[in-house]
Amino acid sequence: MSTALMLLGAVASLAGLVGSIIILISAFKESVGQGFLCLCVPFYILYYAFAKFQHEKKNMVLAAWLGGGILGQVLQMAAAAMA
């Protein structure tokens, strides 16, 4: 059971990683300064994602980024606690 949770957590974390990469690509396309702010300043990517990020599937990207990242960490911690 813990192996299945670990695998599911890894898949969800991968979805979060893909979402963050899409947001970073958009930030670097806007300007190099925006991209480096998203990379280096804590929580700036959160501001950028909700205020400045323009994408035809913005809601899906944000759900994958936040939902996948949080769900992945929770599932991996639950799997570690069960092991």
Give per-residue pLDDT as tens, 2-56: 899 999 999 999 999 999 999 999 999 999 999 999 999 989 999 999 999 999 9
Instruction: Please give the structure tokens belonging to residue 26.
Output: 């958009």
Report how many domains make up the chain. 1
Q: So what's the pLDDT on residue 42?
A: 86
- Contact status, residue 79 vs residue 23, Cβ threshold 8 Å: no
How many whole angstroms from its chain centre is CA 31?
20
Q: So what's the pLDDT on residue 2?
A: 85
Mean pLDDT of 59-75: 94
DSSP annotation of 41:
S
- Identify the band that residue 1 occupies on the pLDDT scale cut at 50, 70 and 90: confident
Closest CA to 59 of 49, 48, 69, 73: 49
Q: Give the residue numbers spanning the domain of 28.
A: 2-82
Helix (H, G, I), strand (E, B) or coil at 55: coil
CA distance 7 to 83: 13
